[in-house]
Amino acid sequence: MSAKTDAFKRQVLRLAGAYLVVAISVLLALGWPLHENYLRSRVEVIEAREQGYLSIADHMVHKEFLEVAGDLGVISTSAVLTDFLDQPNPLHHQRLTLALEQVVRNYGRYVDLQVQNLQGQPLVQVERVALLQQNHLSQVAASGANPATVLRISTPVFNSRQRQAGILQLEFQISELLDAFAKVMARNPFHQAMLVGPTGEWLSPGSFLMGSAIPLAQSNFAQQYPSVWAAMSRQRTGAVQTAQGLFLFDAIHPLEFEASPLPPAAVLHHQGMTVMASQPGGYHWRSVILVPQDFLEDTPFLWRSHGPLVGVLLAILVFVSWILAERKVYANVERAREQQDAQEIAALYDQAPCGYHSLDTHGYIIRMNLTELGWLGYERAEVQNRLRLTDLLTPASAAHFKKLFTRLKVSGQLRDIALDMVRKDGSILPVLLNATAEMSPQGEFLSSRTVCVDMTEIQRLQKALERKANTDGLTGLCNRRHFFELGVRELSRATRHHRPVVVCMIDIDHFKQVNDTYGHAAGDKVLVVMARTLAQQLRDTDVLARLGGEEFAILLPDTPLEIAKEIAERLRTALADARVALDDGGLLHFTVSIGVALRHSSTTTLEQMLRSADVALYAAKTAGRNQVHIAASDGVAAKENSLFV
Ligand SMILES: Nc1nc2c(ncn2[C@@H]2O[C@H](COP(=O)(O)OP(=O)(O)OP(=O)(O)O)[C@@H](O)[C@H]2O)c(=O)[nH]1
């Protein structure tokens, strides 16, 4: 039982595994394009969003430079500067100095403001560091932190007669810009935003919040990402996919304004680079955004957001696969069992020890089992739907069955019907049938199912038993009971036909002496010899019986008394002549006495006749034995009729 259960479980496990593999394969096949599409659209969304950030960067840089240009314009055309250039006296110097100090104080971006003479020597100078020290303020100067973040811009300045009288120079830091840039870009924690200078140097750190920050001093962007830098050198804006992720970049031209606020002669100095305001396109930065590859592929994100869902889905798939597999295996087992049952039933039907057949409404055989076919010597194809049952019966049985079949259609069953079937070789097969009708719900006959038993052996046994019951075991003659059966039948026939009937009673003389002298076995031999001798002397129609002991009776039908006398005498003589061979080689002979009685009227019974014959026999014994006596009509032995041999 346990082994069977284990095998069942193993089958279920294998099938469930196969179902699971198929289900997952189908889901992957269907889900992969969706996943790819999802990633593609995700990249598109990311690109669009990051383009927005690049625009913000562009806008911030321009705003910063616009303010610087504005400051430059305001200072260069201010009255305090013009007054100073017209009359560089201490008062004007002081007023200009105060004005420039005001600018430095108000705007944290300026590191140094100078008004120089035409030879470039400073006439008025305000340094942020000195100013802060002078005001006892803590110094927060970023000077020297990153040389790339300090820019100098200068423009010629004119006196009131519009003659160039000096140069105005501003040194400003972009650290505020970079801080603001960092803050804005940090709104999206899933990217790195950078500002890169004209020669690939970092303006802002390579990383603000995500991952490890790239040290500014150790490398520059061009060295760090040469392939991206090469693409950035070729085109103003674009995107480059690398192993680290997706780089989106855009060129920023800080000096390009829609309506140029810079004086045409303004010059920008940045790390040895000199840019005239009339050629602003020659100076540009790049804003760069790196979207890391793992964020692009989003696998962790996918797993985070869909992991539990995938887990639940997998659990459901496992559960459903198991249930389906279990049902399938159970159905297979059931089907196999049903097939086995059907085969067993077919084998039971075909190989039953009795015959089975079914008939349709016309009596045609629609099914017959192998046992019955074997009895009859036919193949199934020769019989089924080809022959009627009556074709396989003797004419008498066929006629009988036709009537019974009609009755079956009404009564629904037939019990213990004895019929004679005819084998293919012509021999007779006695059978006993029990049939049941299959009826429709409306009560119409559909078919009959019949069980047949081969009666050959039973009949043989019956006959043997009958024979044994009717026969005397020692002599093989009829016994007393059977003698009475046959005798009564003969008497009734004789009565019907008014024919004479005679009964003889025969008894061995001094049989006791035979037994006593030669033994009981010798006595038996005498009885056997006597039976054989009598049988040889009589007709087939005569009834010879041993009634018991050494007493025999004979019924002679159609025999007048005169003939009966002759027969009795012939029997007596034949017995007297008979010899019995003894075991010691000797021969024994014996005599009998016979009493004969004729039936005198139709009312005389066999018992009465036997009694009369017995009286005659007794008379014969009394008269000396070995003789025949005829019973008188009144039952007394008549001496005058006696025959003495
Ligand atoms: N061997 C043998 N003896 C039997 C059988 N049946 C009866 N006997 C014997 O037959 C004898 C009959 O003897 P009785 O009836 O006295 O008569 P009897 O000796 O024949 O003398 P009578 O008839 O007067 O001539 C008995 O000894 C029985 O034992 C039998 O089947 N076999």
- Distance between CA 258 and CA 250 in Å, rounded? 18
| Domain ranges within the chain, ordered by starting residue | 46-297, 351-460, 471-644
ipTM comes to 0.93
- Distance between CA 287 and CA 197 in Å, rounded? 9
Residue minimizing CA distance to atom 5 of ligand 1: 549
Whether pLDDT at 69 is above 50: yes
pLDDT value at position 488? 93
Host H or E run for residue 274: strand 273-276
pLDDT value at position 72? 87
- Region 151-156: mean pLDDT is 86
- Region 211-227: mean pLDDT is 65
340 burial (CB, 10 Å; 0-12 / 13-18 / 19+) is exposed
- Distance between CA 157 and CA 115 in Å, rounded? 9
Q: Which atom of ligand 1 is nearest to the CA of 520?
A: 1
From ligand 1's centre to the CA of 39, what distance in Å?
Answer: 126
pLDDT value at position 266? 78
Whether pLDDT at 643 is above 60: no
- Region 356-385: mean pLDDT is 96
Q: Which atom of ligand 1 is nearest to the CA of 509?
A: 25
Confidence of residue 218 (pLDDT cuts 50, 70, 90): low
Whether pLDDT at 78 is above 70: yes
Residue minimizing CA distance to atom 1 of ligand 1: 523
Confidence of residue 381 (pLDDT cuts 50, 70, 90): very high
pLDDT value at position 209? 35
Which residues sit with their C-beta closer than 6 Å to ligand 1? 474, 507-512, 515, 520, 523-524, 527, 549-550, 621, 625
Confidence of residue 129 (pLDDT cuts 50, 70, 90): confident
Of residues 180 and 264, more confidently modeled: 180
Sign of CA dihedral 452, 456, 459, 464: negative
Q: Which of 618-622, 632-636, 637-641 has the lowest mean pLDDT?
A: 637-641
Residues paired with 452 in a beta bridge:
355, 433
Whether pLDDT at 319 is above 60: yes
CATH of 351-460 among 3.40.50.20, 3.40.50.300, 3.30.1320.10, 3.30.450.20:
3.30.450.20
User: For 38, phi and psi rounded to 5 degrees?
Assistant: -60, -45
From ligand 1's centre to the CA of 553, what distance in Å?
Answer: 15
Crossing angle for the helix pair 90-106 and 2-76, to the nearest 10 degrees = 170
Ligand 1 pocket test: which of 550, 580, 625 has the largest number of ligand atoms within 8 Å of its C-beta?
550
pLDDT value at position 207? 41
Whether pLDDT at 64 is above 90: no
Of residues 140 and 44, more confidently modeled: 44
Q: Which atom of ligand 1 is nearest to the CA of 515?
A: 1
- Region 470-489: mean pLDDT is 94
First to last CA, the chain: 92
- Region 26-55: mean pLDDT is 86
The pTM assigned to this predicted structure is 0.48
pLDDT value at position 211? 35
- Distance between CA 209 and CA 187 in Å, rounded? 10
Q: What confidence tens digit (pLDDT) does each residue in 573-608 have?
A: 999 999 999 988 999 999 999 999 998 887 789 999
pLDDT value at position 205? 60
- 46-297 against 351-460: fold identical: yes
pLDDT value at position 27? 85
Reference 204, options 186, 190, 187, 230; nearest CA is 186
Q: What confidence tens digit (pLDDT) does each residue in 89-128 have?
A: 999 999 999 999 999 888 888 889 999 999 989 999 999 8
Confidence of residue 307 (pLDDT cuts 50, 70, 90): confident
From ligand 1's centre to the CA of 516, what distance in Å?
Answer: 10
Q: Which of 55-64, 70-79, 259-268, 544-553 has the lowest mean pLDDT?
A: 259-268
- Distance between CA 307 and CA 610 in Å, rounded? 116
Q: Give the DSSP letter string of 491-538.
A: HHHHHHHT--EEEEEEEETTHHHHHHHH-HHHHHHHHHHHHHHHHHHS
pLDDT value at position 301? 60
Mean of per-residue pLDDT scores for the chain: 87
Q: Which atom of ligand 1 is nearest to the CA of 507?
A: 23
Residue type, position 218, single letter: Q
CATH topology for 46-297 is Beta-Lactamase (3.30.450)
Ligand 1 pocket test: which of 477, 506, 508, 512 has the largest number of ligand atoms within 8 Å of its C-beta?
512
- Distance between CA 501 and CA 489 in Å, rounded? 12
Confidence of residue 197 (pLDDT cuts 50, 70, 90): confident
Q: Which of 194-198, 201-205, 434-438 has the lowest mean pLDDT?
A: 201-205
Whether pLDDT at 318 is above 70: yes
Whether pLDDT at 635 is above 60: no
From ligand 1's centre to the CA of 597, what distance in Å?
Answer: 23
Eight-class DSSP state of 243: S
- Kindly report the CATH number that applies to the domain delimited by 471-644: 3.30.70.270
Is residue 550 flagged as an active site residue? yes
Whether pLDDT at 555 is above 60: yes
- Distance between CA 223 and CA 221 in Å, rounded? 5
pLDDT value at position 79? 93
> Which residue in 550, 569, 607, 640 is the catalytic one?
550
Of residues 150 and 489, more confidently modeled: 489
Of residues 504 and 308, more confidently modeled: 504
From ligand 1's centre to the CA of 584, what distance in Å?
Answer: 22
